Amino acid sequence: MSGRNYPLAASSWDGAELAAMQRVIDSRMFTMGAEVAGLEQDFARYVGTRHAVMVNSGSSANLILLAALRFHSHWGWGDDGGEVIVPAVSWGTTYYPVCQAGLSLRFVDVSAEDWNIDVERVAEAIGPDTRGIFAVNLLGAPAALPRLRELADSNDLFLIEDNCESLGAEVAGRLTGGHGVAGTHSAFFSHHISTMEGGLITTDDDELRELMISLRAHGWLRGLPADNHVHPLTGDPFLDSFTFALPGYNVRPLELSGAIGKEQVRKLPGMIEQRRRNGAYFLEVIAGFSWLRPQRPVGSSSWFGFGFVVSDQAPYSRNELAARLGAAAIECRPIVAGNFTRNPVLAHLRHAPLPQLPVADELNDNGLFVGNHHFELDDELDYLRECLA
């Protein structure tokens, strides 16, 4: 890369992924099969959970997880629903499945340091209607997951993680995506691994896994063991393959994505290591600009991107800086979707009365992030320094 061009994302594929794709093409088996099952095993082993269930996107991972929790023997709910506590800063498909599963959103503010859900605000928000906590690990940074787990356990709430931006991050000796009842992950092009499109849900819960297996493919019983938590099998494969037990979806992944994902997971430790080296250099660069405040992760970030807030003392507004970077071919984006409660779609989502959200507002109005990659970015970050000066 020239150093005069700093894109937000870049491909991490090489000949290994191309060979994996050819293997699938030669097999003539293109939808969910042995390659997907192999990736599920490899991915669960990497995250440190007993199970992983693959779907066609990280957004679908959230959808299937919330749908499965609704039917779970312990965590489930009926028409009365309840509330899930969520951070005010995330992507839309963190929130939509909560409402689609019959629950309401209770937004709380995020921490000014790491931009993840504020534990103190979570504690204040827990009430008689609370069903669970949906933590988001933002831009590679782990939320305060041990403290959130304590809150969840002491109040008999589920804790789930949207880990779509933070694969490989670690806190308290465990990778993100493995701290709660389940974690969701994305394998979209710009994320830590890329499988074209793809998502995975990790969990230690056998019942939850079986519910998700059914829900991702029409709600049928096909693929479930004889002794399962969804519905008894008759023992007749013909009948059991065409019996529908749950109001499911069709979010099955492709074999191409499974095969590519297996190669990506093999590369993942090295890619995360390089992202962390880039993150350390980014903090050195940004330290030279007192008017920029970077994200300060708790634990070990996997550095999805490099975020910063433009202060009132800056020579440029956030919008002026975004335009300046864009003119220099440095791609940048808002901090995810900023304060999500300021989007018009909120009129269509069930939610509790909104509290004051000052940190989310600051990120919304003054935040930016630039990209990180699996290769060294010293030249790109030096170029960023030049453009900020």
Q: Which amino acid is at 174?
A: R
| Catalytic residue IDs | 191
pLDDT digits (tens, 9 = 90+) for 316-352: 999 999 999 999 999 999 999 999 999 999 999 999 9
Question: How deeply is 154 buried, as exposed, middle or buried, from its count of CB atoms within 10 A (0-12, 13-18, 19+)?
Answer: exposed
The tens digit of pLDDT for each residue in 247-271 reads 999 999 999 999 999 999 999 999 9
What are the residue ranges of CATH 3.40.640.10 in the chain? 15-263
- Total Cβ atoms within 10 A of residue 19: 11
pLDDT band with cut points at 50, 70 and 90 for residue 210: very high
Cβ–Cβ < 8 Å for 253, 55: yes
Task: Specify the CATH class of 15-263 in words.
Answer: alpha beta
Pick the CATH number of 269-388 from 3.40.50.300, 2.30.40.10, 3.90.1150.10, 1.10.3720.10: 3.90.1150.10
Rounded Cα distance between 129 and 126, Å, is 8
pTM comes to 0.96
Q: Tell me if 306 sits within 8 A of 282, measured CB to CB.
A: yes
Q: How far apart are CA 188 and CA 164, in angstroms?
A: 9
Residue 305: the pLDDT is 98
Burial 197-227 (b: 16+ CB within 10 A, else e): bbbbbbbebebbbbbbbbbbbbbbbeebeee
**% of the chain with per-residue pLDDT over 70:** 99
Q: Is residue 271 a contact partner of residue 75, using CB atoms and an 8 Å limit? A: no
pLDDT at position 80? 80
- List where CATH 3.90.1150.10 sits in the chain: 269-388
pLDDT digits (tens, 9 = 90+) for 346-372: 999 999 999 999 999 999 999 999 999
